[in-house]
Amino acid sequence: MLCPRSCGVDRSESKGFCRAGNKITLGRAGLHFWEEPCISGLGGSGAVFFTGCNMGCIFCQNEPLSRGIVGKEVTEDRLRGIFCELIDDGADNINLVTPSHFVPEIVKALSKEKLPVPVVYNTSSYEKVSTLKMLDGLIDIYLPDLKYSSPSVSGLLSGAPDYAQFAVPAIKEMIRQTGECITDEDGMLQRGVIVRHLVLPGFLENTYDVIDTVTREFPPWVMFSLMSQYTPPKKILPVESLNRRLTEEEYEKAADYMYLSGIDNGFMQELSSAKEEYTPEFDLSGV
């Protein structure tokens, strides 16, 4: 019952909608250099990729991981050890990627002693506020997506017509926990929220609606990241526009709309970010 799916599965006996059992499962842990500059820095973000996902995005670019195809079980003590190894390797933060379905275990791993670097919670935002409250005081930086505003689009592309109904209150809870963004003398984010949105080919109206939601629902000091890195999966998708990359014209229109909406605190990407090499190999390295 951790996420909005509320599938009610006893994960000690079978896997939930997220394809997770009752053991922490990871696909990779290592330094990651392709987040926003204030997250990646020079040393890299210590990214820990959790297996499974409670979304059902037809265009998922991490499918072997999100569908539970790859992964290695680890204990809470080993998870803590991985955090420490990444910090020893020079990580500027610990970046928990798609962690929602393992929140109780993560809480135990983080509660032992405060880590010397910020902890980042990197999520689709398809979250329950009650689950996020379990993390209050343990997460320094939230990195939530705001994928959709329209129930029809979120239903079509992710099998979650109630996505925005949960994502907006979830992000508000993240903002409540962290407060305004705080950076250090090197410009590295130490605390705060960066809301991310991936512009999808053929779905500009969705992007406009998301931008309107951001300006209407969240404080102006919340950072916003407009992402252009959509990469079509190798399989043919039933939604034709998702079988191609984003065009320069589409991204420029999205950026113009963002500026006209008054959002000027955040990040943009070059279209060159849409490359397969920006998606890491989930080869169990670092696990």
Amino acid at 174: M
- Classify residue 240 by its DSSP letter: G
3-state secondary structure of 122: strand
Q: Which two structure tokens, joined as six digits, stand for 244?
A: 């191609």
Q: Nearest 5°: CA angle at 71, between 68 and 73?
A: 120
Q: Is 239 exposed, middle or buried (0-12, 13-18, 19+ CB in 10 A)?
A: middle
d(CA 50, CA 68): 9
Residues 233-260 have a mean pLDDT of 96
Burial 94-131 (b: 16+ CB within 10 A, else e): bbbbbbbbbbebbeebbeeeebebbbbbbbbbbbbeeb
Per-residue model confidence (pLDDT) at position 98: 97
Question: In whole angstroms, how far apart are CA 83 and each of 90, 106, 214, 266?
Answer: 11, 11, 32, 27
Residues 247-274 have a mean pLDDT of 90
Tell me the pTM.
0.96
Cα-based torsion angle of the residue sequence 167, 173, 178, 180 in order, rounded to the nearest 10 degrees: 80
pLDDT digits (tens, 9 = 90+) for 143-186: 999 999 999 999 999 999 999 999 999 999 999 999 999 999 99
Report the candidate in 168, 142, 147 with the shortest Cα–Cα distance to residue 157. Answer: 147
